[in-house]
Structure formats: C-alpha cells, structure tokens
Structure 1
C-alpha cells in the first residue's frame, strides 16, 4: 500500500513496458497481454515485477495509480454517469482502493466491517459502471476524485 509514490530513480518506460502498462490499465490478464506480444504469461509477470521494482508499484492497482499520477497513460475524458453521485463514504472507500488497500485494511481504517466495505465497493462500482479495482482507479482519476 502506498499513499504516494517517490521512486528512487526516474522511471522512463520503454515502448514494450508502456504497452504492457496500458494493457494492465484496461484490466487485461497476463495471458491476454502475452498473446498480444507473442510472449508467455510468465514473461509478462516478470516484466511487471521489473516495473514494480523500478516504480515501487507492485500491484496492478498501484501500477495504474502510479501511471495516472505521472501521466504515463492517457486518462480517458469521461462524462460522469448520470447516477455516479457517490456518498462521502464511497469516495473514502474509492480512495483507499486506489491506494491499494485490501477490504480488511479499509475496514480497519474507516472503522467499518469488511461486509460494509464490500457493500460500498459493489455500490460504487455499479454507480460508476465499472467492474474492478483497476477500472476504479482509472475512473477515479478521470473524474478527478484522487487529485
């Protein structure tokens, strides 16, 4: 979990790494990314681990957040869905998700049960029209909820 990223070295991704990171931001699996490049999923996993060591972003959520914050990927300009009005608590949960926190960690930080965190997560995913953590990070950046 990271509250911000301050890599020791400047990370300048090569073209393949940038394409891999773009595929990750779309929620693609290692297997699907491997098919795109004609590589094994294990090679993609190794590439992602290498990127993680260089950036300090070790999970897919952390990597996408890192990429969005440093403008390494284009954040889609999205219109806020009509029903995307999030509660203050849902925004807190979304920010915690974007910081790579697990449901258990979010529950502890916000003094909620894990069940309540899962409920908030499901509802905010439905309101934003997304299906997972990686999409949540991209959407949160697109809607300027993490700035």
Structure 2
C-alpha cells in the first residue's frame, strides 16, 4: 500500500491541477525507478512492470490536458505513446516466441530453427531499442520538468 501513499496528499480541499501534478509526478517517478531496474536486468518481468507503469501514467495523464501547456502535454503524451509502441512490439515478439516454444514442446511440432533464431535476434534488438528509448525518455527536459 505504500505505493499509494501519494493519495494521502489528495484531499477534498485540493485543486484538480495540484492533484494532477502530484499524480503525474508520482507516476513518472515509478517509471524512472522501473526503467533503472530494467536497464540493470532487461528481463521479461521488468519489462512487464514497466509496460504497466507507462500505461497507468498515460491513462492518468490523458485526463490532465487542461493542467499543462499544450506543448508540455502534447510532447509528454507523444513520448509515452512512443514507449508503449516499442513495448508492444517487444511483447508481440516475446509472445510469438513463447507460443512457438510451447508448440514445439507440447505438440512436438518441428519449428524451423531459423524462425526461432530470428525471433531471438529480434528480442535482443528490441531490448536494446527499449533501453535507448528509456534513456531518451529519462533525459528529456520536458518530461523532467514534470518532476518539479
């Protein structure tokens, strides 16, 4: 429950804009923390947690259009969508690879090694792309301004 301790700051007396900034800042800090974990260990579990955190921030952030300037809002939303797109491509590849492994084991289907190798290569490349995008996201001045 300590993940939601920021909710203690959200009382009935708080203005919407202040609540929006508290939520945005908190969600962004979670993304930064999970991005660091992912960079240390880019496994499926860390990617999954990061995907969820970005999705939660984006959905919350979409309600705050009138809180931020058009430039900040549009830029941040675009960057969140970009991360989601990269995560989605990686997830699609991972699911396909996982299903092929299951088929080859359970049904004893002979999956061409070339296909498995291609998907494994894609997985490695996607992990590198995700790391690059996370570094860009974390280094983005407009995104960082949301922490102030």
If the length of structure 2 is used for normalisation, what is the TM-score?
A: 0.31
More helix by share: 2
Larger Rg: 2
